[in-house]
C-alpha cells in the first residue's frame, strides 16, 4: 500500500523576541514565549509519501540524500506523526529550500512546519492549525511559529498542548504590508559553530546571564505586542534589536562562550546604527549564526540593502516581505479522514 504524496510549503520566520532556552528537552517545551515575523523570501517545500515498500524512512534535501543525523531527526519526527495518526509505514520525504544560495540560514523552522503539514495530510489527517503548531514544535521550537503568516506569538504554555503559536491578527494590514526584512548573509553559509539546540542548553546550564534573560522575555513580549497594537515600527525595531543583543549576551557569557558573531556581523550592526542616525528605518536582529536580519520598511529596504551588500564578509543580501501561513501546494487525491479532535 502507498498513500498519495502531499506537498506543503512553509516560510521561515525571524523572532523579534527570541526563544532561547527550554524547560523540557524531551517535549521541546520553550522556557518562555516568543514573537516572530514570517518571511516570504525564505521557504521550504516538502513532499511526503508513505509507502509500505520502504524498510526505512528516506530523506532527500535540496536534491541530495540527507546526512545520517538529518535523517534521524526527520525520522523521529515522522515517528510522532505515525503515533498520532496510526500509520505504520515508512515515508519518502523530499525537501527543497528556497533560500539565498549556500546561506547557512536556519531552515529548521520552515522545514519542520512544511514536514508537519505534508506528513499529516499524506497520512490522511487534517489537524487544526493549533495542533499542527504543537506538532511542528516537537521538530523545532521555532517551527511552531512557521505554521502561521505575518506576526506570530508563541505561548510557553503550562503543558505540551498549550505550547503553541498563533497569528497576531490585530495588527493593521497596512502596517504589515509596509514591513520588510533585509537578510544579510555573513560568511557564505559555512555550517554554524553550535546548533541552537545544544547552544541554548549550554547557555541555560552555564551562563550567569541566563536568569536575567528569562526575566526579560515576558517584559519584552508585552512591549512588542504594545508596539504592534500601535503600529509603532520604531518601538518594535528598538525592542527587537535590544532583545537579540540580550539573547546573544546570555550566550556569550556561557562558559565556554558561544559567540556567533564575525567581524562582518559587527560591521553590519554599525552600518544599521549609522542608517538610523540619518533617519532610516533599520533595526538589527541575529539568531544562532553570524547573519544579520534588518527590520525596515518598503521605502527604506533598497537603501538598507545597498548599504550592507558591499561590507566585506557579507556574501548575499535578500529583501523579504511578510510571508503567509504554511499551505498544501499539491495534494493529489488525498485520502480524507475525519480531522483529529486536538
Ligand atoms: O527552533 P530552534 O530550536 O532552531 O531555535 C531557534 C532559536 C533562535 O532562532 C535563535 C531564536 C528564535 O526564536 O527563532
For ligand 1, whether the C-beta of 141 sits within 6 Å is yes
For ligand 1, whether the C-beta of 276 sits within 6 Å is no
Can you tell me the distance from the alpha carbon of 318 to that of 41, in angstroms, rounded to the nearest whole number?
Answer: 8
Residue nearest atom 9 in ligand 1 by C-alpha distance: 287
Same domain, 105 and 198: no
Give burial (CB, 10 Å; 0-12/13-18/19+) of 220.
buried
CATH number of the domain bearing residue 282: 3.30.70.890
Count the neighbouring beta carbons within 10 Å of the beta carbon of residue 257.
12
For ligand 1, whether the C-beta of 94 sits within 6 Å is no
Q: Which atom of ligand 1 is nearest to the CA of 34?
A: 13
Q: What's the gap in Å between 91 CA and the centre of ligand 1?
A: 27
Same domain, 316 and 225: yes
Q: What's the gap in Å between 336 CA and the centre of ligand 1?
A: 34
End residue of a domain, out of 113, 142, 172: 172
Can you tell me the distance from the alpha carbon of 54 to that of 69, in angstroms, rounded to the nearest whole number?
Answer: 19
Q: Is residue 340 part of a domain?
A: no
For ligand 1, whether the C-beta of 142 sits within 6 Å is yes
Q: What's the gap in Å between 287 CA and the centre of ligand 1?
A: 7
Three-state secondary-structure class, residue 148 = coil
Can you tell me the distance from the alpha carbon of 340 to that of 127, in angstroms, rounded to the nearest whole number?
Answer: 6
Q: What's the gap in Å between 19 CA and the centre of ligand 1?
A: 6
Q: Which atom of ligand 1 is nearest to the CA of 195?
A: 4
For ligand 1, whether the C-beta of 34 sits within 6 Å is yes
For residue 313, which phi and psi values (nearest 5 degrees)?
Answer: 100, -20
Q: Is residue 329 part of a domain?
A: no
pLDDT at residue number 188: 74
Q: Which atom of ligand 1 is nearest to the CA of 142?
A: 1
For ligand 1, whether the C-beta of 220 sits within 6 Å is no
For ligand 1, whether the C-beta of 294 sits within 6 Å is no
pLDDT at residue number 104: 66
Same domain, 129 and 225: no
In the DSSP assignment, the letter for residue 150 is S
Interacting residues of 107 by C-beta distance below 8 A, sequence separation 6+: 12, 42, 44, 97, 99
Same domain, 259 and 210: yes
Same domain, 141 and 216: no
Contact by Cβ (8 Å): 74, 55: no
Same domain, 12 and 150: yes
Q: What's the gap in Å between 329 CA and the centre of ligand 1?
A: 26
Same domain, 133 and 236: no
Q: Is residue 328 part of a domain?
A: no
Same domain, 178 and 245: yes
Q: What's the gap in Å between 159 CA and the centre of ligand 1?
A: 20
Contact by Cβ (8 Å): 32, 156: yes
Can you tell me the distance from the alpha carbon of 278 to that of 331, in angstroms, rounded to the nearest whole number?
Answer: 50
Contact by Cβ (8 Å): 138, 77: yes
For ligand 1, whether the C-beta of 246 sits within 6 Å is no
For ligand 1, whether the C-beta of 127 sits within 6 Å is no
Can you tell me the distance from the alpha carbon of 76 to that of 281, in angstroms, rounded to the nearest whole number?
Answer: 43
* Strand positions, DSSP E, the chain: 6-17, 22-24, 29-30, 34-50, 58-61, 64-65, 91-98, 151-154, 165-167, 179-186, 283-285, 292-297, 314-320, 327-330
pLDDT in tens, the chain (342 residues): 678 999 999 999 999 999 999 999 999 999 999 999 999 999 999 999 999 999 999 999 999 999 999 999 999 999 999 999 999 999 999 999 998 766 668 789 999 999 999 999 999 999 999 999 999 999 999 999 999 999 999 999 999 999 999 999 999 999 999 999 999 999 876 666 688 999 999 999 999 999 999 999 999 999 999 999 999 999 999 999 999 999 999 999 999 999 999 999 999 999 999 999 999 999 999 999 999 999 999 999 999 999 999 999 999 999 999 999 999 997 554 444 434 433
Write the Ramachandran bin of 102: left for phi over 0, alpha for psi from -120 to 50, otherwise beta.
left
Q: Cell 535590544 maps to which residue? A: 242
Same domain, 36 and 98: yes
Same domain, 147 and 189: no
Q: Which atom of ligand 1 is nearest to the CA of 143?
A: 1
Write the Ramachandran bin of 113: left for phi over 0, alpha for psi from -120 to 50, otherwise beta.
alpha
CATH number of the domain bearing residue 135: 3.30.230.10
Contact by Cβ (8 Å): 241, 283: yes
Q: Which atom of ligand 1 is nearest to the CA of 17?
A: 13
Distances (CA, A) of 196 to 59, 192, 314: 22, 9, 22
Same domain, 168 and 223: no
Range of the domain at 75: 6-172
Contact by Cβ (8 Å): 112, 135: no
Number of domains in the chain: 2
Three-state secondary-structure class, residue 2 = strand
Can you tell me the distance from the alpha carbon of 39 to that of 57, in angstroms, rounded to the nearest whole number?
Answer: 30
Q: Which atom of ligand 1 is nearest to the CA of 36?
A: 13
End residue of a domain, out of 172, 203, 220: 172
Q: What's the gap in Å between 176 CA and the centre of ligand 1?
A: 22
Amino acid at each position: 500500500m502507498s498513500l498519495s504524496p502531499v506537498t506543503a510549503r512553509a516560510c521561515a520566520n525571524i523572532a523579534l523576541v527570541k526563544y532561547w532556552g527550554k524547560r523540557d528537552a524531551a517535549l521541546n517545551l520553550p522556557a518562555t514565549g516568543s514573537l516572530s515575523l514570517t518571511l516570504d523570501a525564505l521557504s521550504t517545500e516538502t513532499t511526503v509519501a508513505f509507502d509500505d515498500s520502504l524498510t526505512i524512512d528516506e530523506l532527500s534535501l535540496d536534491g541530495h540524500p540527507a546526512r545520517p543525523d538529518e535523517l534521524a531527526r526527520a525520522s523521529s519526527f515522522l515517528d510522532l506523526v505515525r503515533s498520532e495518526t496510526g500509520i505504520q509505514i515508512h515515508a519518502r520525504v523530499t525537501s527543497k529550500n528556497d533560500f539565498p544560495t549556500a546561506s547557512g540560514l536556519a531552515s529548521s523552522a520552515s522545514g519542520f512546519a512544511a514536514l508537519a503539514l505534508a506528513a499529516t495530510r499524506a497520512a490522511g489527517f487534517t489537524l487544526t492549525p493549533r495542533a499542527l503548531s504543537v506538532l511542528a514544535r516537537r521538530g523545532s521550537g521555532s517551527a511552531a511559529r512557521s505554521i502561521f503568516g505575518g506576526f506570530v506569538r508563541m505561548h510557553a504554555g503550562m503543558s505540551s498542548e498549550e505550547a503553541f503559536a498563533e497569528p497576531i491578527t490585530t495588527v493593521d494590514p497596512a502596517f504589515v504590508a509596509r514591513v520588510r526584512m533585509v537578510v544579510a548573509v555573513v560568511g557564505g553559509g559555512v555550517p554554524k559553530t553550535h546548533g541552537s539546540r545544544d547552544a541554548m542548553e549550554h547557555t541555560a546550564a552555564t551562563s550567569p546571564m541566563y536568569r536575567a534573560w528569562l526575566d526579560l522575555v515576558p517584559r519584552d513580549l508585552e512591549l512588542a505586542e504594545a508596539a504592534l497594537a500601535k503600529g509603532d515600527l520604531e518601538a518594535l525595531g528598538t525592542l527587537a534589536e535590544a532583545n537579540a543583543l540580550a539573547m546573544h549576551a546570555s550566550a556569550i557569557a556561557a562558559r565556554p562562550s558561544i559567540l556567533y558573531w564575525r567581524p562582518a556581523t559587527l560591521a553590519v550592526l554599525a552600518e544599521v546604527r549609522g542608517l538610523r542616525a540619518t533617519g532610516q528605518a533599520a533595526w538589527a536582529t541575529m539568531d544562532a549564526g553570524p547573519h544579520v536580519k534588518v527590520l525596515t520598511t518598503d521605502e527604506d529596504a533598497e537603501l538598507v540593502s545597498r548599504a550592507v551588500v558591499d561590507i566585506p564578509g557579507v556574501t548575499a543580501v535578500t529583501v523579504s516581505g511578510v510571508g503567509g501561513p504554511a499551505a498544501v501546494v499539491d495534494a493529489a487525491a488525498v485520502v480524507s479522514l475525519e480531522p483529529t479532535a486536538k
